[in-house]
Amino acid sequence: MDFLKWGRSPWGEDILIRISWDLLYLSAIGGVLFLIGHALYVRFWPQPVPEKGDAATTAALAARIPERVARHSVAARAFHWVMAAAMFVLLFSAFLPIVGVKFAWVTIHWIAGVILTLSIIYHTVHATFWLDFWSIWPEKGDIEDSRRRMLRGVGQSAPAPRKHGKYPLENKLYHLIILITGLAVIGTGVFMMKRVQTPFFTRNPYLFTDQAWGVMYVAHGLAGVGLVALVMAHVYFAIRPEKLWITYSMIFGWIDRGHYLEHHDPQRWNVARPVPPPPPDEDAAKGRRIAV
Amino acid sequence: MAVIRDVMPAFELFQPANVEEALSLLNRYKSDAWVMAGGLDSFDWLKDRIKRPKVVVDLVGVKELEGVRASGDGLEIGAMTTLTDLVRHPLVREKFGMLLEAAEAAASPQIRNQGTIGGNVSQDTRCWYYRDGWECYRAGGNICYADTPTAMNREHAIFDADRCVAVNPSDTAPALIALDAKMVIRSTSGEQIVDAEHYFIGPGIDITRMTVLKPGDLLVAIRIPGTWAGSQFYFEKVRDRKVWDFPLVNVASVMKTSGGTIQDLRLALNGVAAHPVRLRAVEAAVRGKPRNEQTAEMAGLMAIEGAKPLRHNGYKLPLVRNLVKRAIRGVEGSWTS
Amino acid sequence: MPERTLVGQNYTTPDLVAKVTGKAKYAEDYRAEGMLFCKLLLSPMPHARVRRIDSSKALAMKGVVGVLTADDFPPVKPDQSGLKPEQALTNEPVYQGEPILAVAAVDEVTAADAIELIELDLEPLPFAVDPIESLRPEGANARLEGNAYVDRKVATLKWTAEDFREVAAGRLPFGKGADEWKVGDVDAGFKQADVVIDETVVIQSTGHQPLETRTAMAYWQNGKLYLHGSTQSVARTVASVAGWVGVEPSKVVIVSEYTGGGFGSKIPGAHSMAIPALLSKKTGRPVMMRISREEEHFIGRARAGMQARARLGMRKDGRITALDLYIVMDNGPYSAQGDARSSGSIASLAYQPMTMRFRSVAVLTNTPPRTSQRSPGGMQVNAILEPIITKAARKLGLDQVAVRHINAPAGKAPYGPPGQNGKQRYVTSAFVKEALDRGVELFGWDARKGRSGQRRGSKARGIGVAVSPYVGGSIGFDAIMTIRPDGRLYFQSGIGNLGTHSTIDVHRVAAELLGMPWEKCEVIWGDTSKHVPWSCSSAGSQTVHAMTRAAHAGAMDAKRKLQELAAHDLGGKPDDYDVSNERVHRKGNASGGLTFAQAAKRAIELGGKYDGHELPKDINPMTKTSATALAGLGLMGVAKDNYPRDGDTHSYVVGFAEVEVDVETGAYQILDYTAVADCGTVLHPHSLAGQIHGGSVLGMGHAIGQRWTYDQHYGRPLAKRFHHTKPPTILDVPVAMKWDAVNIPDPETPVGARGIGEPPVGAGYGAVLNALVDALGDDAFRRTPVTPDVIVAALDAGKWTHEALTAHV
């Protein structure tokens, strides 16, 4: 199997054209195998029992947790679904013709690309200034938690990991990798629009050297086929029964108190209502605790 | 690998004697097979070693694909009928004079003696970058060399460019579309009939093909219904030379009028996009209108709506406008000496 | 003057039947025992350096016999320009398509397959395909040594940013670095003018593309090279092939009985002939090199295109008071071309401007090598100036013919740059006014004027006339003829047989002088082993003039020897004798004396000068060698043309055309064309008609569509084959073209005949362009060819819209 497709410049030089579309099938097969593997793992491997917290504390906390914990603002949800739609359109318009479903895909593809780009610019600004910016980035503690969770996942003994903050590490990593692949496709895709007729640019395929374009096409292709697997995984998790509550949150914007308490660490993601004025010392102690 | 042109390499040649044999060969070799009719398009590719099929299926021996036959009040033309035989056929002359004009406008007498109607409609584009072996989109690459700030694209597309700006060079194609011809396609899995208009595909759908023919498919005949027989025809081809030249633009129309009013018409152009363009909007707009200068003028202007000229082909806008105008109202005046 | 029994009469040339029946053998038709075929590997880049060639896989193929590279050629040193002369293979290709190596194999498919196995490592170098782009301050040079010829040396020439503001405005700037000459005070000339036209125009480059490509076959026998090729001169090709191959001329035999056209591209022979010659030497087997149409585009030579600006001042009466002409010539990548210089001279001759300034720059480009193409420089300047003159006439309300008449050269008309004495050179004679008068009558100009610029429906008519001079002859060549004991007259001809008939025609002068019936004459041509005399190249329209003079001199020599021999044998003085009726006899007694057969026998017996054992001192060494070989065969006439000549020989054609343009589509038809030649005495009317019409059609082709096209980014051609370069077809030219000649003998040559190959080209070109101006007005085009797209876009916009200065579009 070739990983890259080479062509010939008008001067007879070997130039990189793009990745081999074999990689698309590789990515898709890889994605499917992962899903099957994961599904089998969940179905047949004894799952670790979640740690029960200190009942009293939980109860006290629960009292202060709203019935519906707001997870995603309307703006954030709108972004997610616009981005998702754009991504599906991009993937289908890119890859359906390759697998034999022929239609005029280029205009659809670049328009979806422009929408994706604009939505991401919006998201970047919105997340930076209006959202809890750091909540989505992996942090040092996540690594230890992750190690413990994995050991426990395969039946080894390990100290209990912390519960998640607003986003589990998987979520954070997924975001990170989507961000990298997304930037790669967008960054290359914007320049690739110079190679086709659009209302924005005068077409100029000579903007870069053949070699530079080759690298760009390969990056676009790699990110693109990578996204096939990533999106498959994402959709898979979104429809897994035990994860549906998260999916609902992306639709309705909230999770219920139970899921919050079960999966999230209130210290890492504090959604508690301010308590009614308690005795001063207790208040200070509690305040400290929460502030830790 | 160094490049050399003009020396045909070795390949395996099949010369089936009938359609069944041809189809079974095409089915056996699929995309490794090259279908050759008159050879006028094929030999360029083969001699220049740009297209290198493993197998060439030469249809010259398939006699059942030759000839023009009456079919109801229309015609059925075998795909291997030469343009010369088509032009000389009395039924073509009698009923579909425009097809005669279009076929006679193609290439040169020598080429028409050898070239077939099936080959003429199925021929590849003549974009001089692509035909010279530049590895563009159409050749499997990721670039169009004909639409760059320094490209030479006098003969390229003004409509429907989807990455590729090549044009379809056929002279008979727009005439067949105007006449509402049906293309009869066979493969080992059966026969399908496609409207001439939908026989041609643009680069958006498939950038490496000009027609719906897939590996294994064979165009066996073209059927022209009697619907437009003897109606008012207009065909004109504008080219640099009077013979042996592809069209800069050509236009074909069939029209039925009643008392100076256009009752119905079909109108198609070629040389402006990677597929012949049927001007449905223009047809709809002029139907029921008086056949006069004003209607013609309007039709001409409508015809170029949405056209996107390239660096060297802006002239195609006034040319299309004028040709469509003439297709509606005819050519005005002339000299006697 | 003798009675005209042969000169001016039609006849069938001895090569004709073979040509029209396909029996004629051209270079490609020869075969030799063990012959190999070779194919060429062409440079994919417009300018590069060969880093490495790996032929091992190719050589390992069954049937592959040898590979030839530039390293197998005799070494060459840079000439005075600073550039190394062109060789047939190179390690520094300077245009895309330049041959780098050749593979010889048992057949062409094997050779081609072997080429595909060769690994070639090239280092791309800077390149330029458009002269103007190369003159930009940041523009690339076509050669490592520079980009232009400045004072005959290759140097780097760049114009200023300010100059390029003019370019952006669509005008050619009068940039620095040009060669310049002046006649009179041009500024004062413009002051006298009532109208001044200033236009920038582009004239296309075109390949010569003769129907026979430069195919050649070579083999060696006993240390001698036998080369079957295609050439415009058999005699002259020996020395050039010897030079390219690196052997003495005495070791080269050229065989070329038939040449399928040259148009200047095979003078004499072709560099590429060295490839089969050296491959044959290397492999020890005969080698055939067939050149394809596409390869011919690359190595087959081309006409230099021009980007030019002309300012022309005209007085109310139509007289041209001033001409200021600036030409940027696309020189191609190799030696300096003379087209632009000729443009200056021909402009000054054709229109006799009262004052003139001429400037030109030869810019190197990475496009195929240029060389003279039928009317080099003359044709281009016709295309530059004719429409401008017509526009000036239109502005002044003057008739096109009247304006040509008042400016026409006459008699010993001056032309060209002033010499060291401050005076211009002059021509031998010119009868252009007579030609114009005859043309007006034959074409029916006055009747057609009513249609000038008229429109009916979408069809506009226009008429045009153009005057086109070109050089028409050289002097100083030799003739060898023998009257043999069989009573026949044998002519040795070293002239190339490229379709003009002059190979044969010129000898009719000698036959006529000697009173020999043509049926008893034989012309031996096409093979240098058959002892041919020193002859001119059939180029620069020299042959009819130069070789009729030589034939005349040879016949006079034979006649003198016949007279002397008769006096010797029969008594009396040589002057008492005359020749006629195949006899040498006393004047007044045509049946007495000796028959030619007897005289031939006696000449052999007497020997000495009579049969060629003693030769004139002034003949060329080649003639001497040939005559020596023929000595003793009969009575030999052998002489050099020593006739005096006052002036430079030129011929002239005036062309008249009518066109009909469809203003809705831009398509047009040349309805009618008439040409009248002033080429002195008419030698062979059929052949002259062929030259006048053929040359005119070449010009029409340049007006209506012939071109090539280059992609500027990669420096590669897109139009290489006939369906892209679009030479005119039979349907593009008028069905019946008329012609005539004024048939007034040139006073400076004994026969009165001048050459005619080149002048018709500019006449056809200019007449069609002028007819288009007449039909479409002054602003329809500023470049050639004028194709339907140019016209329809201009008519739509009300003004020409094509790019003003871009070359190779």
Give pLDDT tens digits for A198-233.
Answer: 888 889 999 999 999 999 999 999 999 999 999 999
> Which chain C residue is nearest to residue B145, measuring alpha carbons?
C711
Q: A161 falls in which pLDDT band (50, 70, 90)?
A: confident
Domain range annotation of chain A = 4-53+74-249
pLDDT score of C1: 47
What count of other Cβ atoms lies within 10 Å of the Cβ of residue B30?
11
Query: B33-36 and B55-58: which strand pairing?
Result: parallel
pLDDT for residue A50 is more than 90: no
Partner-chain contact C44 A11, CB within 8 Å:
yes
pLDDT for residue A167 is more than 90: no
Q: For chain C, give me the number of helices (H) and strands (E)? A: 23, 34
Lowest pLDDT segment from A141-150, B237-246, B309-318, C434-443: A141-150
Angle at CA B142, nearest 5°, toward B139 and B143? 90
Domain range annotation of chain C = 33-125, 302-473+647-797, 474-640
pLDDT for residue C2 is more than 60: no
Q: A51 falls in which pLDDT band (50, 70, 90)?
A: low
| Chain A residues whose beta carbon lies within 8 Å of the beta carbon of residue B130 | none
Partner-chain contact A102 B145, CB within 8 Å:
no
Tell me the pLDDT tens digit for each residue of B254-297.
999 999 999 999 999 999 999 999 999 999 999 999 999 999 99
Distance of CA A84 to the CA centre of its chain: 10
Q: A276 falls in which pLDDT band (50, 70, 90)?
A: low
One fold for C33-125 and C474-640: no
Interfacial residues of A (vs B; Cβ cutoff 8 Å):
7-10, 12, 17-18, 102-107, 195-197, 202-206, 213, 217
pLDDT score of B17: 97
Q: Please state which architecture CATH assigns to domain C474-640.
A: 2-Layer Sandwich (3.30)
Place of tokens 């892209």: C724
Q: B337 falls in which pLDDT band (50, 70, 90)?
A: low
| Chain C residues whose beta carbon lies within 8 Å of the beta carbon of residue B108 | 729
* Percentage, residues of chain B above pLDDT 70: 99
Distances in Å between the Cα of C410 and the Cα atoms of C286, C320, C351, C651, C679 are 55, 15, 11, 12, 13
Nearest to C304 by CA among C377, C355, C242, C235: C377
Partner-chain contact C714 A206, CB within 8 Å:
no
pLDDT score of A65: 80
- The reported pTM is 0.94
Tell me the pLDDT tens digit for each residue of C471-521.
999 999 999 999 999 999 999 999 999 989 999 999 999 999 999 999 999
pLDDT score of A287: 43
pLDDT score of A111: 95
Span A37-66, average pLDDT: 76
Span B135-144, average pLDDT: 95
pLDDT score of A107: 93
Residue A271: CA count within 13 A, CB half-sphere: 23
Residue A240, Cβ density class (10 Å: 0-12 exposed, 13-18 middle, ≥19 buried): middle
Tell me the pLDDT tens digit for each residue of C634-686.
999 999 999 999 999 999 999 999 999 999 999 999 999 999 999 999 999 99
Say whether residue B140 is in contact with chain C using an 8 A CB cutoff. Answer: no
pLDDT for residue C10 is more than 60: yes
Q: C426 falls in which pLDDT band (50, 70, 90)?
A: very high
pLDDT score of C736: 86
Alpha-carbon dihedral angle through residues B28, B34, B37, B40, given to the nearest 10 degrees: -170
Q: A250 falls in which pLDDT band (50, 70, 90)?
A: confident
Whether the complex's predicted ipTM surpasses the cut of 0.95: yes
pLDDT for residue B85 is more than 60: yes
pLDDT for residue C386 is more than 80: yes
What count of other Cβ atoms lies within 10 Å of the Cβ of residue C690?
16
What is the CATH class of B68-122+168-329? Answer: alpha beta
Q: B188 falls in which pLDDT band (50, 70, 90)?
A: very high
pLDDT score of A264: 80
Which chains does C contact via 3+ CB–CB distances below 8 A? Answer: A, B
Tell me the pLDDT tens digit for each residue of C297-327.
999 999 999 999 999 999 999 999 999 999 9
Tell me the pLDDT tens digit for each residue of C786-799.
999 999 999 999 99
Span C222-247, average pLDDT: 96
What is the CATH class of B12-61? Answer: alpha beta
DSSP strands (E only) in C213-286: 216-221, 224-228, 252-255
| Distance in Å, alpha carbon of C787 to nearest chain B alpha carbon | 6
pLDDT score of B243: 96
Partner-chain contact C44 A12, CB within 8 Å:
yes
Partner-chain contact A18 B142, CB within 8 Å:
yes
pLDDT for residue C59 is more than 80: yes
For B152, the closest of C42, C726, C809 (CB atoms) is C809
Contacts of C299 (CB under 8 A, 6+ apart): C88, C97, C98, C99, C214, C270, C271, C272, C291, C368, C369
pLDDT for residue A61 is more than 80: no
Span B110-125, average pLDDT: 98
pLDDT for residue B333 is more than 70: no
Span C733-740, average pLDDT: 94
Which of residues 247 through 276 in chain B touch C, CB cutoff 8 A? 248
Residues facing C414 on adjacent strands: C426
pLDDT for residue A292 is more than 50: no
As a 3-state breakdown, chain B gives helix, strand, coil percent values, each rounded to 5, of: 30, 20, 45
pLDDT score of C414: 98
Which of residues 649 through 688 in chain C touch B, CB cutoff 8 A? 660, 664-667, 669
Does C137 or A281 have the greater pLDDT score? C137
Span B58-75, average pLDDT: 96
What is the CATH class of A4-53+74-249? Answer: mainly alpha
| Chain A residues whose beta carbon lies within 8 Å of the beta carbon of residue C714 | 9-11
Span C348-376, average pLDDT: 98
What count of other Cβ atoms lies within 10 Å of the Cβ of residue C760?
34
Does C3 or C608 have the greater pLDDT score? C608
Domain range annotation of chain B = 12-61, 68-122+168-329
pLDDT score of A277: 59
| Chain A residues whose beta carbon lies within 8 Å of the beta carbon of residue B150 | 206
Q: A288 falls in which pLDDT band (50, 70, 90)?
A: very low
Span C350-359, average pLDDT: 98
pLDDT for residue A131 is more than 80: no
Does B320 or A248 have the greater pLDDT score? B320
Contacts from C344-347 at CB under 8 Å and sequence distance 24+?
Answer: C344/C181, C344/C377, C344/C381, C344/C416, C344/C417, C345/C377, C345/C415, C345/C416, C345/C417, C346/C377, C346/C378, C346/C381, C346/C382, C346/C415, C346/C469, C346/C470, C346/C762, C347/C323, C347/C381, C347/C385
Mean pLDDT of chain A: 84
pLDDT for residue C282 is more than 80: yes
Span B298-302, average pLDDT: 98
What count of other Cβ atoms lies within 10 Å of the Cβ of residue A169?
18
What count of other Cβ atoms lies within 10 Å of the Cβ of residue B319?
30
Q: Which fold has domain C33-125?
A: Aldehyde Oxidoreductase; domain 3 (3.90.1170)
